[in-house]
């Protein structure tokens, strides 16, 4: 849940600085609303674009910068809206739904993290002129996108033991969860199939942007807003505080060796040319890991067993366990994970990162002795039970667990960028921007 909570907290902090949607809208405004983009079988309206532009301008001003001209900002914001809409469409097509129970729990978490009750939290939003219902729906969308990315990106990431060995051998000094880095980032993107001329042009542009960053006539965040094609461009390229495990592979080694305030050389990757600034470095402590002892039953869909029927079979098995049938007996008889089925579904003790992310997320939030609701991973449908947890101190295991997470998170950053690029390239998008948009 950590990634979702981080998204939600960031959304809250931004929302508290942004005006409410439609707060000054008149009947004429509604009448004049029009389509500014067609995204597959959906549309983006001018009111949505202008609302988001107002949000981004206020966010940029809150950092002490002046927003770039609309000729720069409008295409950036439009592209973000398009990418968000495509992801929400894909999530809906895959049956990803955030129900009101999960949404209410997320809202409670946001309120709790801000040290207030949900009613008080709602009062605060309303007092700030924020449409509470629209805020809720934004959070629902962010949660759906987060689930989609876990399915489309995280579940495809594989980490081999050899990769772990290689990382420990080459970067043992960097495998240190006690250190966090505050990073800002600019990406000059390259399209798939770029020609040598395209690559040279992008490289020259990146070198020019780097010179501007070194000369400091414009702040790095201003350059990111106006020049970067990265996902965090409109946040000034700010990637936030990240452990070594969360620093993208392409510039991980640079960041570890940089001093605060340094701007990196131009760095090449499949997605384009990167420029990184190390904003800060801080220490932390982590000496022990939490191990989990769990068991599960897996039902995998097949050509004759639909996805829905697989889930229903697990619900039936869960009811039988609640009525007194032994978990281990049902696992031996029904689980498609034949390795663990022979042990009554027992997975033994696992370290963080040993299990696939979707499975680990469920058991991390499951109290010992409780049977989960059916949930899905790339292997099929599961029910799981946590038998026990323990704090375990093992330097070697800890280092390997850290190395595994470093590799997984680095791959996640790269894979997400490429996946979003493919999603955009493979989709039908028709932009209908003209000079009437936001004073252009």
- Give residue 403's pLDDT: 80
Q: How far is residue 45's CA from residue 36's CA, in Å, rounded to a whole number?
A: 5
Query: Which residue's entry shows tokens 């070594």?
Result: 244
Q: Answer left, alpha or beta for residue 353, where phi above 0 means left and psi between -120 and 50 means alpha.
A: left
CATH number of 174-286+405-425: 3.10.50.40
- Give residue 297's pLDDT: 97
Q: How far is residue 324's CA from residue 319's CA, in Å, rounded to a whole number?
A: 9
- The pLDDT of residue 24 is above 50: no
- The pLDDT of residue 179 is above 70: yes
Q: Mean pLDDT over all residues of the chain?
A: 83
Structure tokens at 12: 């809250």
- Is 369:311 a contact under the CB 8 Å cutoff? no
SS3 letters across the chain:
CHHHHHHHHHHHHHHCCCCCCCCCCCHHHHHHCCEEEEECCEEEEHHHHHHHHHHHHHHHHHCCCCCCCHHHHHHHHHHHHHHHHHHHHHHHHCCCCCCHHHHHHHHHHHHHHCCCCHHHHHHHHHHCCCCHHHHHHHHHHHHHHHHHHHHHCHHHCCCCHHHHHHHHHHHCCCCCCCEEEEEEEEEEECCCCCCHHHHHHHHHHHHHHHHHHHHCCCCHHHHHHHHCCCCCHHHCCEEEEEEHHHCCHHHHHHHHHCCCCCECCCEEECCEEEEEEEEEEEECCCCCEEEEEEEEEEECCCCCCCHHHHHHHHHHHHHHHHCCCCHHHHHHHHCCCHHHHCCCCEEEEECCCCCCHHHHHHHHCCCCCCECCCEEECCEEEEEEEEEEEEECCHHHHHHHHHHHHHHHHHHHHHHHHHHHHHHHCCCEEECCCCCHHHC
Q: Rounded to 5 degrees, what are φ and ψ at 193?
A: 75, 20
Q: 58 vs 9, 224, 350, 356, CA distance in Å? A: 18, 16, 45, 39
Sequence ranges of the chain with CATH classification 1.10.4030.10? 2-156
Q: 8 vs 2, 12, 218, 423, CA distance in Å? A: 10, 6, 30, 24
CATH number of 289-392: 3.10.50.40
| Integer Rg of the chain from CA | 24
Higher pLDDT, 377 or 21: 377
Those residues with Cβ within 8 angstroms of residue 434's Cβ, 6 or more apart along the chain or in another chain = 440
- The pLDDT of residue 16 is above 70: no
- The pLDDT of residue 15 is above 90: no
Q: How far is residue 401's CA from residue 396's CA, in Å, rounded to a whole number?
A: 9
Mean local confidence (pLDDT), 148-173: 78
The sheet that has 346-350: what strands, in order across it?
A: 346-350, 289-299, 380-392, 375-377
- Give residue 296's pLDDT: 97
Query: Which residue's entry shows tokens 């299990």?
Result: 355
Q: Which of 133, 156, 113, 116 is nearest to 22 (CA)?
A: 133
| CATH T-level fold of 2-156 | Triger factor/SurA peptide-binding fold (1.10.4030)
- Give residue 14's pLDDT: 45
Higher pLDDT, 207 or 18: 207
Query: Which residue's entry shows tokens 């960053």?
Result: 213
- Is 236:221 a contact under the CB 8 Å cutoff? yes
Q: Which of 381, 377, 369, 390 is nearest to 295 (CA)?
A: 369
Mean local confidence (pLDDT), 322-348: 94
Structure tokens at 203: 């490289």
Query: What predicted TM-score, i.e. pTM, was given to this entire model?
Result: 0.51
Sequence ranges of the chain with CATH classification 3.10.50.40? 174-286+405-425, 289-392
Residue 101 half-sphere exposure, CB side, CA atoms within 13 Å? Answer: 0
- The pLDDT of residue 9 is above 50: no
Q: Answer left, alpha or beta for residue 96, where phi above 0 means left and psi between -120 and 50 means alpha.
A: beta
Per-residue pLDDT band at 393 (split at 50, 70, 90): low
- Give residue 78's pLDDT: 93
- Give residue 394's pLDDT: 54
- Give residue 176's pLDDT: 57
- Give residue 391's pLDDT: 78
């Amino acid at each position: 849940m950590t990634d979702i909570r981080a998204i939600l907290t960031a959304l809250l902090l931004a929302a508290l600085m942004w005006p409410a949607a439609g707060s000054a809208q008149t009947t004429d405004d509604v009448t004049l609303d029009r389509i500014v983009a067609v995204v597959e079988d959906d549309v983006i309206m001018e009111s949505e674009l202008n609302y988001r532009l107002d949000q981004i301008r206020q966010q940029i001003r809150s950092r002490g910068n002046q927003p770039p001209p609309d000729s720069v900002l409008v295409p950036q914001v439009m592209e973000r809206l398009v990418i968000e809409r495509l992801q929400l469409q894909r999530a809906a097509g895959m049956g990803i739904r955030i129900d009101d129970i999960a949404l209410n729990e997320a809202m409670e978490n946001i309120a709790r993290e801000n040290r207030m009750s949900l009613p008080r939290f709602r009062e605060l939003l309303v007092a700030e002129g924020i449409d509470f219902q629209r805020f809720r729906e934004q959070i629902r969308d962010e949660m759906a996108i987060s689930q989609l990315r876990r399915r489309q990106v995280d579940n495809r990431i594989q980490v081999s033991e050899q990769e772990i060995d290689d990382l420990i051998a080459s970067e043992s000094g960097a495998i240190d969860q006690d250190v966090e880095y505050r990073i800002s980032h600019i990406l000059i993107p390259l399209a798939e199939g770029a020609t040598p001329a395209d690559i040279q042009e992008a490289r020259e542009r990146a070198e020019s942007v780097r010179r501007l960053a070194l000369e400091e006539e414009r702040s790095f965040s201003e350059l990111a807003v106006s020049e970067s094609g990265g996902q965090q461009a409109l946040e000034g390229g700010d990637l936030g505080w990240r452990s070594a495990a969360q620093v993208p592979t392409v510039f991980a080694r640079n960041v570890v060796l940089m001093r605060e305030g340094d701007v990196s050389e131009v760095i090449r990757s499949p997605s384009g040319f990167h420029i990184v600034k190390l904003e800060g470095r801080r220490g932390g402590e982590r000496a022990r890991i939490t191990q989990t002892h769990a068991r599960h039953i897996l039902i995998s869909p097949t050509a004759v067993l639909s996805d829905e029927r697989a889930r229903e079979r697990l619900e039936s098995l869960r009811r039988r366990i609640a009525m007194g049938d032994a978990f281990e007996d049902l696992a031996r008889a029904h689980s498609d994970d034949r390795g663990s089925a022979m042990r009554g579904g027992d997975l033994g003790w696992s370290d963080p990162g040993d299990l696939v992310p979707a499975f680990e997320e469920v058991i991390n939030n499951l109290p010992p002795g409780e049977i989960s609701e059916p949930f899905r991973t790339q292997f099929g449908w599961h029910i799981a039970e946590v038998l026990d947890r323990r704090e375990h101190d093992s330097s070697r295991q800890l280092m390997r667990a850290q190395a595994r997470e470093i590799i997984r998170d680095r791959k996640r950053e790269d894979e997400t960028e490429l996946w979003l690029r493919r999603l955009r390239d493979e989709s039908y998008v028709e932009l209908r921007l003209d000079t009437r948009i936001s004073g252009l």
